[in-house]
Amino acid sequence: MKAAVYYGQQDIRIEEVPAPEIGEDEILVQMKVCGVCGSDLMDWYLESRAPLVLGHEPAGVVAKKGRKVEDVDIGDKVFVHHHVACLTCHYCLSGDYTLCEQFHQTNIKPGGFAEYFRVPFPNLRLDTLKIPSSLSFEDATLIEPVGCCVRALRKCGVRAGNSIAVIGAGATGLIHAALAKIYGASPIIVSDLIDFRLSFAKKFGADVVVNSKREDLNETVKNETDGRGVDLAVVTAPSLEAYKAGIAVCRKGGKLCVFAPTTPGKHLEISPKELFFSELQIIPSYSTSHLETRAALRLIESGKIRIEELITHRFKLEETAKAFTTALEGRESLKVVVQNT
């Protein structure tokens, strides 16, 4: 079968690889659509593991199943989450599913950017979801990123009336804005450096958009919040400047959501004295669990979040290298997906 093998950001090759063999409690899925995630573009995060097949936002059709599999049938449309927790360790019992050791050990094989992938039993049991007939494969490939954003806003305790600044208007930034609107937050302020992205922000729930190259985000936030600052700043851009901006726009007692990692060796200076007296809360949110993927599926199925408008570029599996280049350049793209047709 064909797979897009990652050797580096600028070196993705279509290769013939063996189709995965499945066990008696596993399934083989024919990939139909798989999204390109921001983490797929972090060379520093991937280089030590290359060569490998990436792709962790897949949707497809069950092509084969083991003799012990009962809950899905050949031909079913499914979304598969690439990481799942054990549900029994200390972290899981504390609700910290993404910190579970098994969470990091479970993966689809070889990855979503392949004609077929194997779904191990833990993933099949806990977080393989049937796609309703009303949803497309493209809709389903966004379950994982929507789940990540749902988890972040839940961790931050967002509620109606909260003021929110979203720094970074890529796909996840726009999803955060859309979810914040659904949850009743107001005002929702979205900032970015690229007008193309900001042109979508109001469609996804932003009350105010700010191009930080031309406008003062801090001043805008003060004007919109009676001088206080926002209740929550969600930083989806992987830069220290974005995090500095996030801290600057938070009110006393506000929350900063750490949603994107910076490159290794980057450090943000924060004064414990200032933290103490401002009571600023810093809340990281990594990945998503089986709880939020189900919530994401319900939201997408309900039509409350206009997910299809996020997808700006589509490429065939054979064009995966072009898909990565488009996502990396990013100036006129939001969500890039790879299709296996």
Residues 266 and 165 in one domain: yes
Confidence band (pLDDT; 50, 70, 90) for 100?
very high
| pLDDT reported for residue 317 | 98
Residues 136 and 12 in one domain: yes
- HEC string for 273-293: HHHHHHCCEEEECCCCCHHHH
Inter-axis angle of helices 143-155 and 290-302, to 10 degrees? 110
- pLDDT in the model for residue 306: 81
Query: Within this chain, do residues 278 and 314 fall inside the same structural domain, yes or no?
Result: no
50's tokens: 């290359």
Torsion sign over Cα 93, 96, 97, 100: negative
Length of the chain: 341
Q: How confident is the model at residue 307, as a pLDDT?
A: 82
The more confidently predicted of residues 331 and 18 is 18
Do 297 and 269 lie in one domain? The reply is: no
Q: How far is CA 205 from CA 155, 185, 245, in A?
A: 20, 10, 21
* Domain count for the chain: 2
Domain co-membership, 59 together with 126: yes
* Mean pLDDT value across residues 304-324: 94
Confidence at residue 240, expressed as pLDDT on a 0 to 100 scale:
97
Q: What is the CATH number of the domain that holds 306?
A: 3.90.180.10
Helical packing angle, 143-155 and 171-182, nearest 10° = 60
- Please tell me whether residues 26 and 129 are part of one structural domain: yes
Q: Is residue 269 part of a domain?
A: yes
Q: What percent of the chain has pLDDT over 70?
A: 100
The Cβ-side half-sphere exposure at 281, using a 13 Å CA radius, reads 13
Provide the pLDDT confidence category of residue 330 given band limits of 50, 70 and 90. confident
Question: Is residue 165 classed as helix, strand or coil in its secondary structure?
Answer: strand
115 shares a domain with 22 = yes
Looking at 253, 284, 315, the residue that finishes a domain is 284
Residues 184 and 49 in one domain: no
Residue 341 has pLDDT above 90, yes or no: no
Cα 104 from Cα 120, distance rounded (Å): 13
Distances 328 to 10, 322, 333 between C-alpha atoms, Å? 10, 10, 9
Kindly give the residue spans of alpha helices, DSSP state H, lying in the chain: 43-46, 90-93, 101-105, 121-127, 137-141, 143-155, 171-182, 195-201, 217-224, 240-249, 272-278, 290-302, 320-329
The domain that holds 253 is classified in CATH as 3.40.50.720
Domain boundary residue, one of 244, 264, 284? 284
Write down which residue in 237, 253, 284 finishes a domain.
284
Q: Are residues 123 and 169 in the same domain?
A: no
Domain membership flag for residue 247: yes
12 — pLDDT class (breaks 50, 70, 90): very high
* Full domain range(s) for residue 266: 157-284
What confidence score (pLDDT) does residue 123 get? Answer: 98
In this predicted structure, the answer to whether residue 249 has a pLDDT above a threshold of 90 is yes
Mean pLDDT value of segment 184-199: 97
Q: What is the mean pLDDT of the segment spanning 265-282?
A: 95
Cα of first residue to Cα of last residue in the chain, in angstroms, is: 13
Beta-ladder partners of 128: 80
Rounded (10°) CA dihedral 273, 278, 281, 282: -50
Same domain, 80 and 142: yes
Tell me the per-residue pLDDT of 108-132, one tens digit each, with 9 for 90 and over.
999 999 999 999 999 999 999 999 9
Query: In this predicted structure, what is the pLDDT of residue 235?
Result: 98
Residues 97-107, mean pLDDT to the nearest whole number: 97
> Binning pLDDT at 50, 70 and 90, where does residue 195 land?
very high
pLDDT at residue 308 above 90?
A: no
Is 91 found in the same domain as 51? yes
Single-letter residue type at 329: E
Q: Would the pLDDT of 331 be above 90?
A: no
Asked if the structure places residue 81 within a domain, the reply is yes
Q: Tell me: do 292 and 265 sit in the same domain.
A: no
* Domain-located, residue 231: yes
DSSP string, 188-240: EEEEES-HHHHHHHGGGT-SEEEETTTS-HHHHHHHHTTTS-EEEEEE-S-SH
130-177 pLDDT, tens per residue? 999 999 999 999 999 999 999 999 999 999 999 999 999 999 999 999
Any domain includes 152: no
Whether 118 maps to a domain, the answer reads yes
